[in-house]
Amino acid sequence: MSGGRGVTYAGGFRAGAAKAGVKHGRPERLDVALIVSERPCVAAAVFTTNQVIAAPCVVTRRHVERGTLRAIVVNSGNANACTGEQGERDAIAMAEAAAAVVGCSPYEVAVASTGVIGFKLPVERIAAVLPTIALTEGGWDDTSRAMMTTDTRPKVTEREVHLAAGTVRIGGVAKGAGMIHPNMATLLAFVTTDAAVEPSDLRRIVSHAADTTFNAISVDGDTSTNDTLLVLANGASGVSPKGSDLAAFDEGIHTVCADLARMIVADGEGATKVFEVRVRGAASAADARLAARTITNSNLVRTAIHGGDPNWGRVLAAAGRSGARVDDRRASVRIGTLFVYRDGAPVVVADADVRALFAADAVEIEVTLGLGDGHAVAWGCDLSAEYVRINAEYMT
């Protein structure tokens, strides 16, 4: 379910935010947030694969590898990326300032930043407002807004998972609207749970969830320097998922991540509609992922959907160049309920019927390859002139 308390839904978590004027000294918006657990958390994370990696990712990866975490401190308005050794010192200073507020070691603090690349982080302004943040169970909303950059709305979700051993809660918050593409995107996503999970189990679950959710969305084919998915498990429920319970918990984490991923696509910069691509019958699961993700990232597919153009051939062409094994003589393409290409041959359909399907707010595309049992799903959004305007004016 979307909405609710997000990162404070799970027991033992509090959050809050403040205005530090991070971007060009703008004092009117929330831009610094804290998420805090009452007890140490097992942590697992996935970061950007970009070789130009921001200082906060470097510092947070080090802290996650070192052991448990107690808090996340995050700012918007400045990415603290391409800032050299000073950037890493500033990220460490952010962790130290948050640790002083929380009453923990700086090594127990994760740091995240998002915003414009290549500018020195005003860490003094961030450190000055951290002690003013009221950490409450109701602070989830301010936290979700403080993370936003070009987002038009917060992205918050939660789930309660009933296990044989008891009930656990999972909540999440994310930001992201542009530079979204597989292999992590320009996103920050924080998920909290009160389950007691073994570190190795959590790492496996988080890696799988990232691969099938945040790595299966595309807005514009770009990725960034700061991308972070971080999951904290504090064990406050006293429930430790084992066996079949662990599988159910895994599904709960996946569902929360999928909710957030779809919200990011729906809020894509300039987007007017979203589309889901399902690939079935691929030679392998890897081939299915390649085909699905290439289709969602095709500018030709995305502009056709935006304009309601019945040029469905772009879908099959994108699959064919994806690197996946594709035999057009075996393939089928379905738009919504309407087959436009079946078993290697086009189906005679009225252009108006295809236009009507592409004109919907949500478009479903299924490609069946007839080569095996590999399957995958990916999500994308249309490409509009508004996307160009937003990114042409980003720094101003």
**Using alpha carbons only, how large is the chain's radius of gyration in Å?**
22
Tell me the DSSP string of 341-383.
EETTEE----HHHHHHHHTSSEEEEEEE-SSSSEEEEEEEE--
Q: What is the per-residue pLDDT for 179?
A: 45
Domain boundary among the residues 232, 266, 300 is at: 266
Instruction: Tell me which H or E stretch contains 212.
Output: helix 199-212
Of 352 and 34, which is predicted with more confidence?
34
User: Please, what is the average pLDDT of the chain?
Assistant: 88
Please state, in angstroms and rounded to a whole number, the distance separating the CA atoms of residues 282 and 279.
7
Q: Which of 8, 186, 223, 228 is catalytic?
A: 186
Q: Which residues have CB under 8 Å from 74's CB, separation 6+?
A: 32, 33, 34, 35, 111, 112, 113, 114, 143, 146, 147, 188, 190
Q: Which residues have CB under 8 Å from 134's CB, separation 6+?
A: 16
Tell me what percent of the residues of the chain surpass a pLDDT of 90: 64
Range of the domain at 372: 274-392
Please state, in angstroms and rounded to a whole number, the distance separating the CA atoms of residues 253 and 161.
10
Q: Which tens digit of pLDDT belongs to each residue from 85-131?
A: 999 999 999 999 999 999 999 999 999 999 888 899 999 999 999 99
CATH number at residue 251: 3.60.70.12
Residue 53 and residue 188 in one domain: yes
Tell me what percent of the residues of the chain surpass a pLDDT of 70: 90
Please state, in angstroms and rounded to a whole number, the distance separating the CA atoms of residues 117 and 132.
27
Q: Which tens digit of pLDDT belongs to each residue from 369-385?
A: 999 999 998 888 777 65
Q: Is the pLDDT of residue 282 over 50?
A: yes
Residue 56 and residue 197 in one domain: yes
Q: What is the per-residue pLDDT for 354?
A: 86
Residue 218: C-alpha distances to residues 262, 289, 344 (Å): 10, 13, 28
Q: Is 1 inside a domain boundary?
A: no
Residue 355 and residue 298 in one domain: yes
Q: Which tens digit of pLDDT belongs to each residue from 3-48?
A: 568 999 999 999 999 999 998 656 778 999 999 999 999 999 998 8
| Amino acid identity, position 326 | V
Q: What is the per-residue pLDDT for 7?
A: 96
Out of 171-180, 220-229, 330-339, the most confident range is: 330-339
Q: Could you give phi then psi for residue 325, rounded to 5 degrees?
A: -75, 125
Instruction: Tell me which H or E stretch contains 69.
Output: strand 69-78
Task: Report the b/e string of 253-288 with b at 16+ CB within 10 A.
Answer: bbbbbbbbbbbbbbbbbbbebbbbbbbbbbbbeebb
| Amino acid identity, position 313 | G
Residue 244 and residue 350 in one domain: no
Q: What is the per-residue pLDDT for 226?
A: 77
3-class secondary structure per residue, 99-127: HHHHCCCHHHEEEEEEEECCCCCCHHHHH
Q: How many domains does the chain have?
A: 2
Q: Which tens digit of pLDDT belongs to each residue from 57-75?
A: 999 999 999 999 999 999 9
Q: Is 205 inside a domain boundary?
A: yes
Residue 129: C-alpha distances to residues 31, 56, 81, 276 (Å): 10, 19, 22, 42
Please state, in angstroms and rounded to a whole number, the distance separating the CA atoms of residues 366 and 155.
27
Q: Between vectors from CA 66 to CA 183 and to CA 68, what angle results, nearest 5°?
A: 90
- Report DSSP state, residue 284: S
Least confident interval from 87-91, 243-247, 279-283, 361-365 = 361-365
Q: What is the per-residue pLDDT for 270?
A: 59
Q: What is the mean pLDDT of residues 140-166?
A: 92
Residue 320 and residue 219 in one domain: no
pLDDT band at 271 (very low <50, low <70, confident <90, very high): low
Active site residue 186: yes
Domain boundary among the residues 220, 238, 266 is at: 266
Q: What is the per-residue pLDDT for 165?
A: 95
Residue 293 and residue 178 in one domain: no
Q: Is 82 inside a domain boundary?
A: yes
Q: What is the per-residue pLDDT for 1?
A: 46
Residue 35 and residue 179 in one domain: yes
Q: Is the pLDDT of residue 189 over 70?
A: yes
Q: Which residues pair with 34 in a beta bridge?
A: 16, 73
Residue 186 and residue 134 in one domain: yes
Q: What is the per-residue pLDDT for 115?
A: 86
Residue 210 and residue 347 in one domain: no
